Structure 1
Amino acid sequence: MKLVKPVIAAALTALATTALAHTGVKDPDVKARMDGMSAIADAVKTIGLMAKGETDFDSAAIDAALAEIETRAARIPERFETEVITPKSEARPAIWDEMEAFSEKALALETLAATRQGTVASPDDLGALMGDIGTSCKSCHSEYRE
């Protein structure tokens, strides 16, 4: 659990930073991408707060968060069909150069969220779940996000 706490803290910090970065975005494609990623971040936050013990464990809320992650992750590739980078955009040009690999990472997050629904039975399961989500998100963000 010691390794999981830094992952949770980093995820929650990234969520707070993301909210500020998204203000003032005018391009509809960039806004749609950011809104989708923010929805994923909010769902991860729901799980992260439970993992940290800041909210009560609720398996139904975890499943709802995972369903939201699954739905939003499935739409990631279509949100990046149009190559648009604005000053507020956090997308790197490598996304469009490596669209197949980028889409595979989105599919991996979608699949993770889908397969973990209904499997989180106790607070003890949250550390591994957060670790898996963090690893999936980082695999994409490290290559494709500023």
Structure 2
Amino acid sequence: MKSARILALATLASITMASGLAAHTDATNPAVIKRMEVMKAIGGSMKTLAGMAKGEMAFEAEKANAAVATIAEQGMMVPAVFEANETDPATEALPAIWENWDDFAKKADDMVMAAKGVAEITEQGAIGAALGQIGGTCKACHDDYRKK
């Protein structure tokens, strides 16, 4: 059951990353582009973890730990890059972000805290726990604040 959940989170991370790539090339608003770059860095790190968890990429502890660190670092930037209510046809951000700012900012903080709480990854088996810790926070925010 646990491995099925890990696989589901890994698959979700891969799908989430792939679905956002096309929108990034169409954005023209510099503020929205910056937001997308931050989210792309987080998504890319989740994709790295998911790829290792699913065996699609070779396990490398250094890369896995760097991915977790990137999620924490970029996650700290999320409130700042979303603070201005900027629009762009290519954005996947919902107006609910600015209507429920405190909740959005808390969810960003939850992601950062989850990433910072991941113990050093020294073996492939530990990636599932990291995905579980971080992936749930990504989903919670995306469910409320990202176009589906």
**Structure-1-length-normalised TM-score:** 0.93
Q: Is the 8 A contact 1:66 1:117 kept in 2?
A: no
Structure 2 Cα separation of the partners of residues 103 and 109 of structure 1: 10
Aligned match of 1:85 = 87
Structure 2 Cα separation of the partners of residues 11 and 132 of structure 1: 13
Aligned match of 2:139 = 138
Aligned match of 1:125 = 126
5 Å matches for 1:1-146? Answer: 1-118=3-120, 120-146=121-147
Task: Write out the 4+ residue segments of structure 1 that deviate beyond 2 Å after TM superposition.
Answer: none
**Structure-2-length-normalised TM-score:** 0.92
Partner secondary structure for residue 25 of structure 2: coil
Shift of 1:10: 2.0
State how many pairs are aligned.
Answer: 145
Question: Which consecutive residues of structure 1, in runs of 5 or more, have no partner in the other structure?
Answer: none
Per-residue CA deviations over 1:8-52 (Å, capped at 9, x if unaligned) read 112112211111111121101100000100000111111111101
Structure 2 Cα separation of the partners of residues 42 and 144 of structure 1: 19
Give the % identical residues: 34
